Structure 1
Amino acid sequence: MTEPTSTQGNSPDLAPFATPDVLRIANASGFYGDRFDALREMLTGGPLDIVTGDYLAELTMLILGRDRQKNPASGYAKTFLRQLEEGLGLAHERGVKIVANAGGLNPAGLAAAVTELAARVGVPVRVAHVEGDDLLTPGHTWGEGVLTANAYLGGAGIAECLRAGADVVVTGRVTDAALVTGPAAAHFGWDMKDLDALAGAVVAGHVLECGTQATGGNYSFFGAHDVRRPGFPLAELHADGTAVITKHPGTGGVVDIGTVTAQLLYETGGARYAGPDVTARLDTVRLTQDGPDRVRIAGVRGEAPPPTLKVGLNRIGGWRNEIVFVLTGLDIDAKARLVREQVEDAFARADRAPAYIRWELARTDRADADTEETASALLRLVVRDSDPDAVGRAVSAAAVELALGSYPGFHVTAPPGKGAPYGVFEAAYVDAAEVPHAAVLPDGTRVPAPTPVRTRPLEPVPPPPLPELLPAGPTRRAPIGLVAGARSGDKGGDANVGVWVRTDEAWRWLAHQLTVDLFRQLLPETADLPVTRDILPNLRALNFTVHGLLGEGVAAQARFDPQAKALGEWLRSRHADIPEALL
């Protein structure tokens, strides 16, 4: 990657793009199950140097862990292989290198499968992989029932593979941004001392990692744009770490400061965004519109990374079952109370009641409704236990036996089942020096990845000064979302909500108005939980972290919205006193 490619096929509109000063990196997958034809779209839609794919998430690692239990030769994202059946030839014709974390729990197995596929389809490519993240090995004790234990690696191993001439690099659990920092370091010749440049690449990688979330997908202000089929994003990276986020010409969606801000806030915490290569200071990020569908990222400062690496642990937490009772028409609360008392009485008479019982009544009904569905509310029962019988036969019997002896109109959304295992995610931390991060080059040579020159313990950034308060004036009670956008997500058992506004005047209101106390009032679920507020003035944004909202993580499904994807939209729908000048 140190030299520009000399050819990318015969098509003049796909001429070589890479120069010593610019590298064009695209994303073609934001999760395992993303748009299947995105790889082809990105390879044929315009010039590229690198195309990346992010296939891993906390829940994905659990799914792959269960796959590996059944078949030790599995453990990687099979979709990636099917995409390569066509994409590999296209990439080779155009001189585009492919970097993906689809290796999951078995990057060596996926690398071998890619090599076999290349031989079968007649495409001469050099395949390398990165390993060392899997810590489910002797010498590490993670506790009972742990299926996966994977350290989040940086981009140094990817860079070594590309420097050795790899055309395809597959990894296991690396940070999402590592798919960009690795290629950028290889191309520009950065080393572990180039902290600002690496931090810029981390920010660009974070914007790209979730695919079309950067181009109008899941965007609060979607109504102003055509987002029926948003194109996937790409970044034009420069040697100093600055970048321009854009997309292929003619594709759907939009790239503007709002879409990029939304993705920057997604699943982040404080102003220090820590990673294995560098800690990026999100409070230094500056965004400017660089033309239609072009947003420039500049000013990013980097600090030495922490001395530890995060390790994601997944284990089977027990068994789970769910029944949703439909309550129609009048006396909804009384009907809910009756069936709840009946079910809990049945549990009391059973040999063993489930260890965890949770009821939620969703008042989806409305008065004088003109359809039966809109006249109905949903009462959701969730049970969990270490014994499958406690959530299976006992729960099914308790519900079924009420069919003719409970509230009028009794029915459920689906027949009760026997329950299913659920997962639990935990984060642990290990000394980075204990993790054998290595690149396995195309010729099979195993090379240790470079390590940071120095480290720095992670500390919160002191709150910056707030902007001048907006002058007093008339206000109106209205939804916050008329002024502010939001994006929310999960990190293990925690949830984050990033909130931003589009004007300096709105920022002068938001920074003072949306305090932790008001946040808790607007979202009563958070009232008894620790909530942290971080201030990012350059982005006109606040980022709230709600600790413990998601219990034991997405796989435990402890909450109606287990990944907190809509938590921000709930916040936007809540009413506050907003200055009329902003409305």
Structure 2
Amino acid sequence: MTAAPLRVGNFSGFYGDRSGALREMLTGGEVDVLTGDYLAELTMLILARDRLKDPAAGYARTFLRQLEDCLGLAHERGVRIVTNAGGLRPAGLADAVRRLADRLGIPVRVAHVEGDDLTGRHPGSLAAHAYLGGFGIAACLRGGADLVVTGRVTDAALVTGPAAAHFGWGPADHDRLAGAVVAGHVLECGTQATGGNYAFFGERPGAVRRPGFPLAEIHADGSSVITKHPGTGGFVDVGTVTAQLLYETGGARYAGPDVTVRLDSVRLGQDGPDRVRVEGVRGEAPPPALKVGLNRLGGFRNEVVFVLTGLGIEAKADLVREQMTDALAKSPPAEVRWDLVRTDRPDAGTEETASALLRLVVRDPSQEAVGRALSGAAVELALASYPGFHVLAPPGKGSPYGVFEEAYVPQGDVDHVAVLHDGRRVPVSPAHDTAVLEDVPESALPEPLPPGPTRRVPLGLVAGARSGDKGGSANVGVWARTEDAWRWLAHELTAERFRELIPEAARLPVTRHVLPNLRAVNVVVEGILGEGAAARARFDPQAKALGEWLRSRHLDIPEVLL
């Protein structure tokens, strides 16, 4: 227990992130703890399919390769590492790390957290895992671990665990824990906090060619400063931190297993170059239930993309639709979707820019229904359809797709255990102080701008956005960078206006949440991703670019803002 600030850095935001980031963070400046986040909803399905082929699989093997290069360096510098790379087999990865350390001759105390795996309680699922909090990690660190491996914990738990261990926080320290959750949420996606995937990247030419990874200086009261190592690429400002705060969140209450964060309490301020202070964060008791992510196989999927070139694009599309419908009539797949993407332009100077793409996607519980039948029907049209017939690639035999679902279990029904480096098993008590999650009434809106001349231009000229997936739903966080722009945005971007701008959402439940401290609205669209990212139900299956589509839509924007 200490009052000295804790410097926590991130070296991985997803399974497949920059392999050299661990070394960069170890050598770029001072840091106490490094966190590696490898798990997303889709990643759990990937690991589950790996485990079907090989029972010894189920964790992020790339972490071991990174560690082989850097374990000695981390030991020399006294930097602790916390990672959820354990995936479905945290004990298996912990053992693999021990074997690696023995081979390298480096004395490392490795602990792991378990109890999240509830697959046995959910017949038919490939993987069912509860989202655990940070106190198992804290127990491992307090027990002397140099490296902690977890399975499915919340992304922010990788930061709240070290902070709780460092400062001696307990489950009742809601405000402090909430501050650490905010810091963890900003760090969890790596370089998204330092200019990566940032709406206004064009204002910093060249700055995000290779952004550095972020770190947080966390203080005993739960406040923090988000920054990065000196001399690394990218940048940290109120905008980049705001964008990441809005990513994959919903309303003013952001619930987790340890604490519910009041996002409407967060205050951000520039604290110098590449330094953003985060303060004022309030926390409340967590909900009584833990979220469980269920992954199962949904069936089989196949697709073929027909290329339509030149004149009569619509007529060509109609013809091939009719022909394919006739060919598949004897045994039609359970789900058939056509999308015509008009990438063509008149009097084009290249064949590619004279062409449109007609995409056919089929899904069915049977692989046969989406495989041979589709392939045969598409190939047989080669000399019998529209002029210029060709496809981007012939359809294959069909591939399995996954479905993500959410369930909830009482906190006390999960055996959360910290397995220390010496083999001792320390049970982690569930939260005793809980509160059922309720919506926060919408905050008072600012005074609207006075009437004046407007110009019809893209929303993105005055607002930033970031979007992402949560199961079958998506969120789009939209923020203004000036007070006047916020006065306009808060009144203009209603749920109804969002439906007008994003026709895909016209018949879906859309909820708008107002976050005045961030000058932002967070829009949640339920069901837009169907059965989740793994089902690949839409062109952008994880809604990563939904916010950029919104920013490209034209509105009547007050000229005073332009």
- Whole-Å Cα distance in 2 between the matches of residues 109 and 578 of structure 1? 56
- Whole-Å Cα distance in 1 between the matches of residues 352 and 408 of structure 2? 48
Would you say 1:303 and 2:284 are equivalent positions? yes
- Of residues 124, 127, 134, the one that matches 1:148 is 127
Would you say 1:58 and 2:28 are equivalent positions? no
2:97 maps to which residue? Answer: 114
Pairs within 5 Å for 1:372-387: 372-387=351-366
Scaled by the length of structure 1, the TM-score of the pair is: 0.96
Identity %: 75
1:192 and 1:451 in contact (8 A); partners too:
no
Q: Which amino acid aligns with 2:49?
A: R
Would you say 1:41 and 2:20 are equivalent positions? no
Would you say 1:330 and 2:342 are equivalent positions? no
Which runs of no fewer than 5 residues in structure 1 stay unpaired? Answer: 4-19
- Of residues 435, 446, 451, the one that matches 1:456 is 435
Shift of 1:574: 0.2
Scaled by the length of structure 2, the TM-score of the pair is: 0.99
Pairs within 5 Å for 1:361-380: 361-380=340-359
Would you say 1:445 and 2:428 are equivalent positions? no
Shift of 1:473: 0.5
- Whole-Å Cα distance in 2 between the matches of residues 418 and 256 of structure 1? 48
Would you say 1:127 and 2:106 are equivalent positions? no
2:388 maps to which residue? Answer: 409
1:219 and 1:259 in contact (8 A); partners too:
yes
Shift of 1:451: 2.5
Shift of 1:453: 3.2
1:8 maps to which residue? Answer: none
2:233 maps to which residue? Answer: 252
Pairwise CA RMSD of aligned residues?
0.7
- Of residues 321, 325, 340, the one that matches 1:340 is 321
- SS of the equivalent of 2:299 reads strand
Would you say 1:400 and 2:379 are equivalent positions? yes
- Of residues 494, 517, 524, the one that matches 2:496 is 517
Would you say 1:32 and 2:19 are equivalent positions? no
1:486 and 1:500 in contact (8 A); partners too:
yes
Shift of 1:136: 1.3
Which deviations, in whole Å up to 9, do the C-alpha atoms of 1:204-253 show, x marking residues without a partner?
A: 00000000000000000000121100000000000000000000000000
Pairs within 5 Å for 1:111-510: 111-137=94-120, 140=121, 142-144=122-124, 146-225=125-204, 226-348=207-329, 350=330, 352-510=331-489
- Whole-Å Cα distance in 2 between the matches of residues 334 and 504 of structure 1? 50
Shift of 1:74: 1.3
Q: Which amino acid aligns with 2:387?
A: P
Would you say 1:77 and 2:56 are equivalent positions? no
Q: Which amino acid aligns with 1:84?
A: L
- Whole-Å Cα distance in 2 between the matches of residues 157 and 582 of structure 1? 49
- SS of the equivalent of 2:465 reads strand
- Whole-Å Cα distance in 2 between the matches of residues 143 and 539 of structure 1? 43
Q: Which amino acid aligns with 1:562?
A: P
1:550 maps to which residue? Answer: 529
- Whole-Å Cα distance in 2 between the matches of residues 284 and 33 of structure 1? 34
- SS of the equivalent of 1:46 reads coil
Would you say 1:580 and 2:559 are equivalent positions? yes
1:196 and 1:302 in contact (8 A); partners too:
yes
Q: Which amino acid aligns with 1:406?
A: S
1:193 and 1:453 in contact (8 A); partners too:
no
1:571 maps to which residue? Answer: 550
Which deviations, in whole Å up to 9, do the C-alpha atoms of 1:77-125 show, x marking residues without a partner?
A: 0000000001111100100000000000000000000000000011101
Which deviations, in whole Å up to 9, do the C-alpha atoms of 1:301-324 show, x marking residues without a partner?
A: 000000000000000000000100
2:411 and 2:431 in contact (8 A); partners too:
no
2:309 and 2:388 in contact (8 A); partners too:
yes
- Whole-Å Cα distance in 2 between the matches of residues 400 and 451 of structure 1? 58
- Whole-Å Cα distance in 1 between the matches of residues 277 and 421 of structure 2? 35
Q: Which amino acid aligns with 1:252?
A: G
- SS of the equivalent of 1:28 reads strand
Shift of 1:43: 0.4
Deviates more, 1:271-280 or 1:449-458: 449-458
- Whole-Å Cα distance in 1 between the matches of residues 247 and 532 of structure 2? 17
Q: Which amino acid aligns with 2:18?
A: R
1:77 and 1:103 in contact (8 A); partners too:
yes
- Whole-Å Cα distance in 1 between the matches of residues 162 and 532 of structure 2? 31
- Whole-Å Cα distance in 1 between the matches of residues 517 and 347 of structure 2? 49
- SS of the equivalent of 1:357 reads strand
2:302 and 2:363 in contact (8 A); partners too:
yes
Which deviations, in whole Å up to 9, do the C-alpha atoms of 1:345-404 show, x marking residues without a partner?
A: 1011x3x11100000000011111101111110000000001111000000011000000
- Whole-Å Cα distance in 2 between the matches of residues 510 and 344 of structure 1? 45
- Whole-Å Cα distance in 2 between the matches of residues 448 and 508 of structure 1? 50
Which deviations, in whole Å up to 9, do the C-alpha atoms of 1:15-50 show, x marking residues without a partner?
A: xxxxx3300000000000000000000000000000
- SS of the equivalent of 1:88 reads helix
- Whole-Å Cα distance in 2 between the matches of residues 143 and 441 of structure 1? 31
- Whole-Å Cα distance in 2 between the matches of residues 199 and 21 of structure 1? 19
Shift of 1:143: 4.4
1:14 maps to which residue? Answer: none
Shift of 1:415: 1.4
Which runs of no fewer than 5 residues in structure 2 stay unpaired? Answer: none
1:357 and 1:383 in contact (8 A); partners too:
yes
Pairs within 5 Å for 1:520-539: 520-539=499-518
1:17 maps to which residue? Answer: none
- SS of the equivalent of 2:375 reads helix
1:484 and 1:572 in contact (8 A); partners too:
yes
- Whole-Å Cα distance in 2 between the matches of residues 513 and 554 of structure 1? 30
1:534 and 1:544 in contact (8 A); partners too:
yes
- SS of the equivalent of 2:210 reads coil
Which deviations, in whole Å up to 9, do the C-alpha atoms of 1:411-438 show, x marking residues without a partner?
A: 0001121110000000000001000011
Q: Which amino acid aligns with 1:34?
A: D
Q: Which amino acid aligns with 1:285?
A: V
1:235 and 1:244 in contact (8 A); partners too:
yes
